[in-house]
Amino acid sequence: MIKITTDSTCDLPRELLERYNITVTPLGIIKAGKLYQDGVDIRTGDIAAHVDAGGEITTTNAVNVADYEELFRRLMEEYDAVIHLNIGMGFSSCHQNARLAAEEVDGVYVVDSANLTVGHGMLVLAAAEAAEAGKSVTEILAMLEEMIPRVETSFVLDRLDYMKKGGRCSTATALGASLLKLHPCLDVVDGKLPVTKKYRGSIEKVVEEYVRDRLRDRADLDTHRAFLVDTCPDDHLASIAREVLRQDGRFQEIIEAKAGCTIFCHCGPGTLGVIFLRKA
């Protein structure tokens, strides 16, 4: 049997993690000097309440080598092999730490997703489905290698104060965006997150325009499955994006997810993304 493991940054819904018996290693979240575990003893609402009350931005900690090694050794007592998929190494040292741990445990294979949130999760789910279908380690690794460059992850932000607090944009940029109602669109490109477009207007209008832009004149999309992810406490923005995807009518399955604390720390509330797989 092959066991699929991943990090909390994959943001897959709990029912899918349970359905495919995927083990998740939580990243660390530091809030007010105390270390928490993403999705275990801290939730995105806790971070939002802390920041809204004037607290400093929370920061994230990669899973350390020792924790990975302990997990891998324990699982290898039960499974023939472990395939672990990390958040992209351009975003975190998790991949480097997992690789070091895997060098100490035979039968463990570590894959850099080169992605984040459900762009990472899309690959985790594909690996779990392949493992359940009886594919070999070699077949699953080859499938992932072929898929990774085809994952298309992007999102739009409602506000930039979290990025400003985290040092990812200047105060002037954040203030200007707020005054002009500008909402940046970020894409995962070569393991980085460049701003690829700026939308203007209310976030509701922006979300609809952004999703339509992502779908317009696209003959290169794999229509088996699309992912929708957001950091909102409610269904407000997701319902807008969901309706655009529904009207498009091409996707056999749309999986919806809420981003966890690691992603939330960097982009804050009101962020929404769509994730597609391009055709081979």
pLDDT at 131: 98
Contact 160, 178 (CB under 8 A): yes
pLDDT at 178 over 70: no
Same domain? 157 vs 119: no
Same domain? 170 vs 95: no
Query: Of 134, 149, 164, at which residue does a domain stop?
Result: 149
Contact 229, 259 (CB under 8 A): yes
Contact 181, 200 (CB under 8 A): yes
Q: What is the pTM of this model?
A: 0.92
Least confident of 23-27, 50-54, 135-139, 212-216: 50-54
The top-scoring range by mean pLDDT among 138-142, 170-174, 267-271 is: 138-142
Q: Tell me, what CATH number does 222's domain have?
A: 3.30.1180.10
Same domain? 24 vs 112: yes
Query: Of 149, 175, 198, at which residue does a domain stop?
Result: 149
Same domain? 163 vs 270: yes
- Domain range for 241: 151-278
Same domain? 130 vs 167: no
More confident residue, 87 or 181: 87
Same domain? 138 vs 156: no
Query: Which whole-number Å values give the CA distances from 110 to 3, 7, 73, 121, 257, in the listed order?
Result: 12, 12, 14, 15, 24
3-state secondary structure of 120: helix
Tell me the per-residue pLDDT of 112-146, one tens digit each, with 9 for 90 and over: 999 999 999 999 999 999 999 999 999 999 999 99
User: How high is the mean pLDDT of the chain?
Assistant: 92
Same domain? 12 vs 141: yes
Same domain? 227 vs 256: yes
Same domain? 203 vs 105: no
3-state secondary structure of 44: helix
Same domain? 10 vs 80: yes
Domain count, the chain: 2
Same domain? 268 vs 207: yes
Query: Of 131, 149, 167, at which residue does a domain stop?
Result: 149
Same domain? 185 vs 143: no
